[in-house]
Amino acid sequence: MKKKQLFALVFIAIAVVFLLVPFNKKQPYITNKGKVFGTFYSITYQHPNHKDLNDSIVKAFEKFDASLSVFNPNSTISKINRNEDGKSDFFFEKMYVEAQKVSSLTDGAFDITVAPLVNAWGFGFKQEEFPSSSTIDSILQYVGYQTISLQNGVLTKQDSRTQIDASAIAKGFSVDIIADLLEQNGCENFLVDIGGEIVAKGRNPKGKKWAIGINKPTESLTQTGEIQSVLYSNSIAMATSGNYRQFYYKDGKKYAHTINPKTGYPVQHQLLSATIVAPSCMTADAFATACMVLGLEKSIALCDSIDEIEGFFICTKNDSLYSIFSSGFEKLLTE
């Protein structure tokens, strides 16, 4: 064989190897875990350059906390609640716009001005005593999503006693923020889970759809392994709200943490948890809370009336559990 032919064959062989290696090499998945916003997070992703994004994720959490955490005395929302400064920021404005939208669509079942009521019942950022009916009636005078407005970056209240609690929407929003961060860094396959609020895209490490469990409602914090159902998707944003963990008994009666903004009292119905799928986790989070206020029948009607959301609901009847879901949810239950 001539030297020129031999050189050409060797060159072709090297080129083939060079081309095949990158395509056959599968980047491993990275998982970052920790505690944030009073709960736990787990973020699994496949970075194109196998870069660990943990530092960027933590910084994003810190910026978010500085805006919407009611437990951070220096946050934007805390200053607004103390009437020190009505000036908002990027996170607060996005949260506000979505919150007001969901409030309008649910006839006030979702309402970020519910904070004084949540605090009065002992479930918020202030631990008050068990409220009297006169206390509730007094608080209701300055609760209502229509009593606040945001113009030119400044929040205005009709009553200075009005306070805002974004807890029922902020956690879902934080999931969206991290999902956006991953996409901006070139990640196409990932799952972000912050306290059970989830955004998943692409494929899992086995190359299949992400399998996401919906927990069976249980009052025990130690019994978290039972799954009521499993969702399968390559692109999903979902959030779950429930009344089976945060509650207390007084005089033999159970009081759950979901407060009806219109009545001022904890809800009393057979709906234990609501899982909502929506275009964003922030939207899903807010609607899930609204459904826990509305109850089963109104929640099903709500999901069927809004094209962009679907719901999966777990209820109790005669001490047994049963689940029911909106018309478009069934496709997510197929692997």
pLDDT per residue over 79-116, tens digit each?
A: 999 999 889 999 999 999 999 999 999 999 999 999 99
Cα angle, residue 99 at apex, residues 284 and 94 outer, rounded to 5°: 95
Contact 268, 274 (CB under 8 A): no
What confidence tier does 260 reach under pLDDT thresholds 50, 70, 90?
Answer: very high
Return the structure tokens found at 247. Answer: 């509650």
Percentage of the chain beyond pLDDT 90 is 70
Residue 194 to residue 239: CA distance in whole angstroms: 10
Residue of 25 and 316 predicted with greater confidence: 316
Point out the least confidently predicted range of 19-23, 122-126, 310-314: 19-23
Point out the least confidently predicted range of 95-109, 214-228, 261-275, 292-306: 214-228
Interval 301-321 mean pLDDT: 91
HSE at residue 264, side-chain half, CA atoms within 13 A, is: 17
pLDDT at 7 over 60: no
Range ranked top by mean pLDDT from 76-85, 262-271, 323-332: 76-85
Return the structure tokens found at 161. Answer: 């006693």
pLDDT per residue over 197-255, tens digit each?
A: 999 999 999 999 999 999 887 654 444 558 888 999 999 999 999 865 555 445 455 55
Residue 205 to residue 228: CA distance in whole angstroms: 24
Point out the least confidently predicted range of 112-126, 157-171, 174-188, 272-286: 112-126
pLDDT at position 122 is 82
pLDDT at 23 over 90: no
Contact 210, 234 (CB under 8 A): yes
Contact 239, 172 (CB under 8 A): yes
Q: Is the pTM of this model over 0.85?
A: yes
Q: List the one residue out of 310, 297, 265, 281 whose CA is nearest residue 175.
A: 281
- Summary mean pLDDT of the chain: 87
Residue 34 to residue 239: CA distance in whole angstroms: 19
30-333 folds as T-fold (3.10.520)
pLDDT at position 22 is 44
What confidence tier does 24 reach under pLDDT thresholds 50, 70, 90?
Answer: very low
Interval 10-39 mean pLDDT: 67
pLDDT per residue over 119-169, tens digit each?
A: 888 876 666 567 889 999 999 999 999 999 999 999 999 999 999 999 999
Q: What is the dihedral of CA 166, 171, 177, 178, to 10 degrees?
A: 160
